[in-house]
Copies of this chain bind each other. A is one copy, B any other.
């Protein structure tokens, strides 16, 4: 077997993982539920956010922390997970620029149920629940967008539940890789590189499996030539075969 190569990942980050004012402006205006607002309004909105840079592994908040803010990823990758009593993690989502997280329970939950952790150098925007609430009061259109985003997430969560409770690991991994490629895929000589740190363990946490079993599946995929992979990265070589596996 030929040796695995050095990681080909090139996630865009600015040093020191903070983002310029106009990057923020562009992000809010193009990739979030504020997209519909005018430049002047965006400037006002923007002032409600503060930003923080995170190193890989840094926690943004942890399960049990008091809910205080809503977050938006500006740069990097953020992972959301829950931890079982046995210390096993279940990965709920991997987020990229423009995606929000944290609780937007306006009345609801007093404490976060999940944990948010940077998976790469990241810049994260933060707004207090209060201020966000005020923005929603002023811009009903934004509220509808948020509602829509929530609706999509709920659908996605239901689909995950469906998948995990009705398909064998091989199919779960295939579906998960395709979803990740959809979100983080970048064209490459041949195939699609999934632009995020992605270990066997991460995949196991997403598919309700174990690192060993995922490794076996991944190894088989690679033997067949369907994917190309190394430590913490995977590229899909043959999308159509995986799609067939995923039905």
Which of B88, B133, B160, B166 makes the CB contact (< 8 A) with A88?
B166
Number of copies: 2
Q: Number of A residues whose C-beta is below 8 Å from B?
A: 44
Q: Is A147's beta carbon under 8 Å from chain B?
A: yes
In chain A, positions 78-112 with a C-beta closer than 8 Å to chain B are 82, 84-86, 88, 90, 92, 103-109
| Contact segment of A37-45, A149-157, A186-194 | A149-157
A106–B144 Cα distance when bound, in Å, is 7
Report the minimum CB–CB distance from A70 to chain B (whole Å): 11
Which residue of chain B is the closest to A150 with respect to CB atoms? B150
A143–B107 Cα distance when bound, in Å, is 12
Q: Is A140's beta carbon under 8 Å from chain B?
A: yes
**Interface-centre pick from A114, A151, A155, A247 (highest chain B CB count, 10 A):** A151
In chain A, positions 111-164 with a C-beta closer than 8 Å to chain B are 113-114, 133, 136-137, 140, 143-144, 146-148, 150-155, 157-162, 164
A167–B208 Cα distance when bound, in Å, is 10
Are A154's CB and B152's CB within 8 A?
A: no
Residue-wise, chain A 152-185 has the 8 Å CB interface mask toward B (1 for contact) of 1111011111101111000000000000000000
Taking CB atoms, residues of chain B closer than 8 Å to A82 are 158-159, 162
Are A151's CB and B104's CB within 8 A?
A: yes
A140–B135 Cα distance when bound, in Å, is 12
